Amino acid sequence: MNIGEIAKRAGVSRSTVSYALSGKRAVSAATRRRILQVIDDVGYRPNASARALAEGRTRAIGLVIPPAGRRLTPIQLGFVADVVAAAGRRELDVLLSPSGGEHDRSFERMVRGRRVDGVILMEVRLRDARAARLRESGVPFVAIGHTADAATGYWVDLDYQGLVASCVRHLADLGHREIALINRPRELLDSGYGPARRALDGFEAAAAARSLSATASCCPDEAAAGETFIEDLLAARPGVTGLVTINEAALPGIERALRRLGRAVPRHISVTGVVGRHWAEEFHPPLTAADVPITDMAERAVELLAERLAEPGTPPRNVLLAPPISLRSSTAPPP
Amino acid sequence: MNIGEIAKRAGVSRSTVSYALSGKRAVSAATRRRILQVIDDVGYRPNASARALAEGRTRAIGLVIPPAGRRLTPIQLGFVADVVAAAGRRELDVLLSPSGGEHDRSFERMVRGRRVDGVILMEVRLRDARAARLRESGVPFVAIGHTADAATGYWVDLDYQGLVASCVRHLADLGHREIALINRPRELLDSGYGPARRALDGFEAAAAARSLSATASCCPDEAAAGETFIEDLLAARPGVTGLVTINEAALPGIERALRRLGRAVPRHISVTGVVGRHWAEEFHPPLTAADVPITDMAERAVELLAERLAEPGTPPRNVLLAPPISLRSSTAPPP
DNA sequence: GCCTGCGGTCGAATCGATTCGAAGCATCGC
DNA sequence: GCGATGCTTCGAATCGATTCGACCGCAGGC
């Protein structure tokens, strides 16, 4: 069932069918009605490949996710679903591609094979090989997180620096004097992963500004690691009364360790940070924290990409999101 | 940069380039070398749309996920990444489509627009509108879970019935006499979601066979719900010493409630069931449970689909996986 | 009454691949 | 020496859409 068949049944030429569907040229009301009727009867849909070939665009975007090996955090996973939903609203399909290691072929297929019109690149590093590849291939892309040369690209990011600084000031305002940052894994920080880097910067700057005694360390993305992290931390610095975390995967372990060590939240120790809403609410007691607005980020990323596709050549745009800190019940003045 | 340009630079016709690349006809070694050299120099890749149009297949598959609104469980999310990886190994790209409600347009685009060669359908119901739609459109698909007419389709599923029965027998063997099943949410069970249905069947049959006192109830997919579930259960039936769960999202709440109520695992109460490995290991103490083999399921689903695409008309095949129960430390004889 | 303008429609070219039939050219056997 | 054979290679048709230029008929202006 192709456009020729529709044309035949409606008694018009193929081009007329195309125009009736796209509206790019006028078609008389009677003819259009007849054509639409036939289309509806037989359930016709233009062949996506043929259309893509003729139009020179695929109406699909690529979403490059971190490789499957490394567990995706719930934030990232929710983000994928939200991107698909946002793209769907704009009649765009989403092609998924892992990146890194053995998956580079998939990335190359997508990019060089012109399978997609543009790409959303998740979890970008300050220096990022994939971003460089896209740039040199001339494929429009929007990064989640920003690269070292932030000014030249399109990106959406969270203001981790500002948010973590707000958390620190919140603790300082409550009277805390000795605090600690629970960062993402060391390898992410070392490889120049923006959020880890900037969280650290924001933490140190804000702590220094308020003259707090502060330590920052990394913790693997796992509950078990969170548990030992807390044990080690409180053994080394028993005076810590405020915790700031951007590591949501470690939260269940943090909660367990604090409970086991008899440190009640928030009576003995306050906990805050930047984590997905879901995780903030599952913590006991619910975390006072900046909720990562994944749905918002997904929507903005797709919006930026759609805009860039529609009007190539416009100067790069970017979005830095700074959601408010949701007051729940995990912070209080120190004992 | 298209095949014509490559042909010109290599001094051959376009068809020769195509044959050199596909190997579908002989090309002399010298010519092939020259062509490949040019291709390598300019970094050429065939245009996916043109190729799809000519070949009549897209080399892409669709993955229909549950709608974004309902939170994806970690099992489902890991599955998505694993499907993409498995498809990549076969040079297949993956198009994501949510289904249900407002997302049906995306589903239709994929199916009717011939964007994909075949589809993997997640979380299938016993009677499933999407499956029916695919069947009537003639699009090959593999279901995760099986529909009411299991014999006529391709599917991959977990033997929830057998696995839950094994868990029950394991508890019975240890001497437990009063047990409970923590199922997935009621609306899933009612809508004919296979795993929930079959877990219940397996639970009741095995409990009856061993003359155990058994109750089965549903629990929303949330930690908080797990907590109240346990409170209610133990209030109503304080004699329960064995729990079987297929609801991984409720596990953190189950753990918290048991701890708060002073029921040590496994000393006072044993816990087992069918959950993702990750969740089993995060539980304290680690769960003795059947680990949902998502990577395996993803691989088999893609394998089945690839096979079906390669040889249409072969009789339906299906795979029922029954992973072993991993002995960890959450079960023991009753007190 | 003729030319112009315009709404509506058609035919043909185009996008970039694959694939089929046929042609060119040695080599080989008789 | 001539036709048959086999290996390479080429040219043209094809896939199913979009889009451009042209054509046609009709109304309006002078």
Which residue does chain A place closest to B110, by CA atoms?
A93
CB pairs under 8 A between A and B: 150
Choose between A105 and B43: higher pLDDT.
Answer: B43
**d(C-alpha A107, C-alpha A166), whole Å:** 38
Q: Tell me the CA end-to-end span of chain B in Å, nearest whole number.
A: 75
Mean pLDDT of B89-111: 86
Q: Is the CB of A15 within 7 Å of strand C?
A: yes
* A60/B108 CB distance under 8 A: no
Of B77, B256, B282, the CB nearest to A223: B282
Assess B225–A contact: CB distance below 8 Å, yes or no: no
Q: What is the mean pLDDT of residues B158-171?
A: 96
Q: Provide block-wise average pLDDT over 10 residues at a time, chain A (335 residues).
A: 94 96 93 96 95 96 78 73 92 89 81 94 88 91 87 91 96 97 94 91 97 96 92 96 95 93 96 91 92 94 95 89 94 95
Q: What is the spatial distance between Cα B73 and Cα B226, in angstroms, rounded to a whole number?
A: 15
pLDDT tops 70 at residue B326: yes
Rounded to two decimals, the pTM is 0.90
pLDDT (mean) for B162-178: 97
Task: Provide the CA B20 to C1' C18 distance, Å, integer.
Answer: 12
Res. B119 pLDDT band, cuts 50 70 90: very high
Q: Which DSSP category does B123 fall into?
A: S
pLDDT (0 to 100) of residue A24:
93
Residues 249-308 of chain B whose Cβ lies under 8 A from any Cβ of chain A:
252, 256, 278, 282, 284
| Gyration radius (Cα) of chain A, Å | 25
| B69 CB-to-strand D distance under 7 Å | no
Predicted confidence at residue B45, as pLDDT, reads: 94
What pLDDT does residue A40 have? Answer: 95
CA end-to-end span of chain A, whole Å?
A: 75
pLDDT at A74: 66
Phi, psi of A334 (to 5 degrees): -65, 155
User: At CA A181, angle to CA A180 and CA A184, rounded to 5?
Assistant: 150
Position B28 scores a pLDDT of 94
Using DSSP's 3-state secondary structure scheme, residue A180 falls into: strand
User: b or e along A122-137 (b: 16 or more beta carbons within 10 Å of the residue's beta carbon)?
Assistant: bbbbbebebbebbbee
Q: Give the torsion through C-alpha atoms of B225, B226, B229, B233, to 10 deg.
A: 180
pLDDT greater than 90 at residue B70: no
The rounded distance, in Å, linking the Cα atoms of B237 and B132 is: 43
- Give the strand order in the sheet containing A242-245: A213-218, A178-183, A242-245, A270-276, A288-292, A325-326
pLDDT higher than 70, residue B67: no
- pLDDT mean over B191-214: 94
Alpha helices in chain B (DSSP H): 3-10, 14-22, 29-42, 48-55, 74-89, 104-112, 129-137, 160-174, 186-190, 194-209, 223-236, 251-260, 277-282, 294-310
Mean pLDDT over B235-253 rounds to: 94
A281: closest chain B residue by CA? B224
Show the tokens assigned to B51.
């190729």
